[in-house]
């Protein structure tokens, strides 16, 4: 039973990757994470100099 569930999840993941939606979501997440990281680094630098 567990093997069947795992196989179904793997198949759905493969379909999502082939469909291209997975990569679109990853791009959005990467962009948001990058912006947040850059903002944090900028605040730390400006806070350290003042």
Per-residue pLDDT of the chain (50 residues), as tens digits, is 788 877 776 777 766 666 666 666 666 666 666 677 677 767 666 665 44
Q: What is the DSSP string of the chain?
A: -HHHHHHHHHHHHHHHHHHTHHHHHHHHHHHHHHHHHHHHHHHHHHHHH-
pLDDT for 6 = 76
pLDDT for 50 = 43
Q: For residue 29, give the nearest of 37, 39, 18, 17 by alpha carbon.
A: 37
Q: Which residues contact 11 (CB under 8 A, 6 or more apart)?
A: none
């Amino acid at each position: 039973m567990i093997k069947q569930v795992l196989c179904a999840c793997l198949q759905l993941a493969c379909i999502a990757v082939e469909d291209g939606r997975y990569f679109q979501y990853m791009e959005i997440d990467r962009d948001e994470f990058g912006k947040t990281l850059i903002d944090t680094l900028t605040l730390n630098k400006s806070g350290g100099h003042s």
